[in-house]
């Protein structure tokens, strides 16, 4: 039901789908200017596509579920190898891990892979639906909303529902260097759904907060701890601090809190600094320059107004 509400690139068939010859994965690295699917003929190719960041965010989970189903249909003996290979393709994705292990447990109990995979997809649709019902209540008529990166289903649905309820909203979308997910994914999704939005650079959010244009800051979370610590795309911390300074609430969406980790367990991954030194093929710095690309920010609980979960706001 929520599928038809979503912007096109978040609809199931535009993330990944099964055909007779394999699993199709939409190449998010090329969006929005080029719409191209990668065909993965088996679980090995699907794992490789995930590893190479063909899809990101909630994408790997959907690809993994489709891959399990495709493997079960065509190469049933390899099902355990497929699970192992998929888990190794994105070791930091705890949602995918928990889901695949849950699917395999249910499969060993019932043997009904078709039904279990369908139930898993339905579970996430229902989760997105109920979390965004809560997210929608935080959005007031006439407000300006800031985000960071590409906050996907829960954020998009919250705004779409707010619009359906007659609330007028303007969203400020930082481009999110170095990978430009804000420019390439978030802004086109909002525009497609007719939600007023402006693309800005990553240094501008505080400017618009000071001008009184922003009343709410909302992001996804790569990880949320039960002490209300949020881990999300680099740039989130600066905006959370500025929001705190201007008295603007900051909410992060979470599909499920991590009950096992503490802040000390969080290791911030550094990626290839070449992506800082070039933008979509345009080189902006000398090869002899040094650059740094830490992937995630850690946002302390005192900066987080609340974490929006299925069970309510923490």
Among 18, 106, 143, 206, binds a copy of itself (CB under 8 A): 206
- Rounded to an integer, what distance in angstroms lies between the CA atom of residue 129 and that of residue 163? 15
| Comparison of 91 and 294: residue with beta carbon closer to a copy of itself | 294
Q: Are 178 and 275 in contact (CB under 8 A)?
A: yes
Identify the active-site residue in 112, 125, 222, 297: 222
Pick the stretch among 97-105, 133-141, 187-195, 259-267 that binds a copy of itself (CB under 8 A): 187-195
| Comparison of 167 and 207: residue with beta carbon closer to a copy of itself | 207
Pick the stretch among 2-10, 197-205, 220-228, 257-265 that binds a copy of itself (CB under 8 A): 197-205
Helical pair 113-137 and 59-74, crossing angle rounded to 10 deg? 170
Nearest distance, CB of residue 169 and a copy of itself, angstroms: 14
| Comparison of 61 and 237: residue with beta carbon closer to a copy of itself | 237
- Rounded to an integer, what distance in angstroms lies between the CA atom of residue 15 and that of residue 128? 16
Residue 81 a catalytic site member: no
The beta-strand segments (E) located in 82-178 are 144-146, 170-174
Lookup: tokens for 180: 């430009």
Lookup: tokens for 231: 């881990």
Residues 236-295 within binding reach of a copy of itself (CB under 8 A)? 237-239, 241-242, 244-245, 276-277, 279-286, 288-294
108 sits near a copy of itself (criterion: CB under 8 A)? no
Pick the stretch among 3-11, 122-130, 215-223, 229-237 that binds a copy of itself (CB under 8 A): 229-237
Q: Report how many residues bind a copy of itself under the rule CB under 8 A.
A: 55
Q: Supply φ then ψ for residue 5, to 5 degrees.
A: -75, -30
Nearest distance, CB of residue 6 and a copy of itself, angstroms: 19
Q: Are 74 and 113 in contact (CB under 8 A)?
A: no
Q: List Cα–Cα distances, 226 to 166, 296, 303, 309, in angstroms.
A: 34, 18, 14, 11
Place of tokens 């994914």: 185
String of contacts with a copy of itself for each residue 33-52, x by CB under 8 A = x-------------------
Nearest distance, CB of residue 179 and a copy of itself, angstroms: 10
Omega before 32 within 30 of 0, i.e. cis: yes
- Rounded to an integer, what distance in angstroms lies between the CA atom of residue 303 and that of residue 228? 9
Lookup: tokens for 304: 């987080």
311 sits near a copy of itself (criterion: CB under 8 A)? no
Residues in the site for a copy of itself, rule: CB under 8 A? 32-33, 148, 174-178, 180, 183-184, 187-188, 191, 197-208, 210, 234-235, 237-239, 241-242, 244-245, 276-277, 279-286, 288-294, 297-298
- Residues catalogued as catalytic: 222
């Amino acid at each position: 039901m929520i599928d038809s509400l979503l912007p096109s690139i978040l609809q199931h068939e535009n993330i990944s789908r099964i055909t007779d010859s394999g699993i199709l994965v939409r190449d998010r690295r090329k969006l929005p200017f080029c719409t191209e699917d990668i065909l993965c003929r088996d679980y090995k190719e699907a794992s490789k596509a995930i590893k190479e960041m063909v899809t990101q965010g909630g994408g790997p989970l959907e690809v993994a579920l489709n891959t399990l189903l495709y493997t079960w249909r065509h190469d049933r003996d390899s099902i355990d190898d497929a699970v192992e290979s998929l888990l190794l393709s994105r070791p930091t994705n705890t949602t995918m891990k928990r889901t695949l292990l849950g699917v395999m447990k249910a499969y060993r109990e019932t043997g009904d892979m078709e039904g279990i995979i369908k139930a898993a997809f339905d579970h996430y649709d229902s989760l997105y639906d109920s979390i965004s019902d809560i997210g929608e209540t935080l959005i007031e008529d006439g407000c300006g909303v800031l985000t960071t990166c590409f906050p996907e289903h829960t954020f998009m649905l919250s705004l779409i529902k707010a619009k359906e309820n007659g609330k007028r909203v303007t969203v400020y979308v930082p481009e999110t260097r170095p990978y430009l997910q804000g420019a390439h994914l978030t802004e086109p999704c909002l525009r497609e759904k007719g939600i007023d939005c402006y693309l800005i650079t990553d240094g501008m959010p505080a400017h618009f907060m000071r001008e009184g244009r922003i009343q709410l800051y909302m992001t996804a979370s790569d990880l949320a701890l039960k002490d209300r610590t949020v881990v999300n795309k680099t740039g989130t911390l600066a905006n959370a601090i500025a929001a705190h300074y201007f008295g603007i609430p900051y909410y992060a969406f979470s599909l499920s809190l991590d009950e096992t980790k503490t802040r000390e367990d969080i290791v911030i991954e550094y990626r290839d600094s070449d992506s800082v030194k070039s933008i979509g093929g345009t080189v902006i710095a000398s090869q002899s320059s040094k650059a740094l690309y830490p992937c995630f920010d850690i946002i302390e609980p005192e900066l987080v107004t609340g974490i929006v979960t299925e069970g309510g706001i923490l």
